[in-house]
Amino acid sequence: MTSANELVVPPLDDILSTLRVVSIPMKVKFRGVTYRESALIKGPAGWGEFAPFLEYQPAEASAWLKGALEAAWQGFPEPKRHEIPLNATVPAVGAHEVERVLSRYEGSIREVKVKVAEKGQTLSDDCARVAKVRELLPDAGIKVDANMGWDLPQAVESLTHLSEYDLLYAEQPVATIEGLAQVRAELREKGNSLLIAADESVRKAEDPLKVAQAKAADVLIIKAAPLGGIRSALRIVEKSGLPCVISSALETSIGISAGAALAASLPELPFGCGLGTVSLLDGDVTENSLVARDGMLPVRTVEPSQELLTRFSASDARVRWWRERIEHNYAHLVINN
């Protein structure tokens, strides 16, 4: 075990000795993914999850490894709350599929995040999807997430139309911090006070605080793993001075437990968090999945089932690939830690 604030990176052999790699099918395609692969690591404090998307190189992915090691070797900070308000997530599906997606969430739904700006789709597709959510859930809060999918003119046009559905905020409409600031300014000039949230501009930036310093967003979307774990993320949130939403990176319940622990450590949660994505997986590594009931997610640790770890075990070739990936990221982490 280590001090409360700094992670002492454990030996590589200790990390690899407990490694389990899983491949879990998705119920719907999400970010182009139909199977979610993840590396799970056990340490003295519990289990951590290392699941950067496949295109991430060590400069980015090593932070995810640090987050997994924090969970497994340090554990989580003392929580300020024991349940977390969540949003449901609707991928870029056709409007006719929205009701089926929402039916996977148990109980009442208070907020929904809707994916927009999908390649190959149009603004009409986005409006139809959001309109269907609003029809099905007239009292719910709705936010849209473009994942940097628009250029500046598209973002302003699209958000002008989508604002008709009474949105809470729009997440990462364009790719750059400068672009976010410009979208925000142009909407204000049109009398549109829609809040702008930054996601990729925080977790993929060399300086995660630059978006706040540039006044390019009203809300920060924070993910524990890409920022190097809970304690690192908490420092960024405190320095930013902006309201934050904690979101997932499409993890199993093990990774979601870290996100819940981060949300539980914040002084305020003005919006529902994006930690309900286990509902998008067609399986999990525990029988007692970390999912919401009536829009609230419990804060607790997760112990995987050996039977499920075996059922969803990745192929030997993929296990070797993940071992090599961890080795490469470990070298980068040690050098830069």
Q: What residues are designated binding site for Mg(2+)?
A: 145, 171, 199
Chain centroid offset of residue 51 CA = 11
What is the number of other CB atoms lying within 10 angstroms of the CB of residue 19? Answer: 15
CA pseudo-torsion sign 299, 304, 227, 119: negative
Beta pairing partners, 37? 23
How many Å apart are CA 185 and CA 155, to the nearest integer? 12
Taking CA 284 as the corner, what is the angle to CA 132 and CA 311, rounded to the nearest 5 degrees?
135
Among 87, 19, 83, which Cα is nearest to 275's? 87
Q: What is the dihedral of CA 166, 169, 171, 174, to 10 degrees?
A: 80
Is the Cα dihedral 211, 217, 218, 223 positive or negative? negative
Residues 35-59 as b or e (16 or more Cβ within 10 Å = b):
ebbbbbbbbebbbbbbbbbeebebe
Active site residue 113: no
Identify whether 66 is a catalytic site residue. no
Q: Which of 42, 115, 132, 143 is catalytic?
A: 115
First-to-last C-alpha distance (Å) of the chain = 17
Backbone angles phi, psi at 306, to 5 degrees: -60, -35
Binding-site residue set: 145, 171, 199
Residue keyed to tokens 């622990």: 261
Tokens found for residue 175: 């790719």
The bridge status of strand 111-115 relative to strand 296-298 is unpaired
β-pair type (20-30, 33-43): antiparallel
Residues known to be catalytic:
115, 223
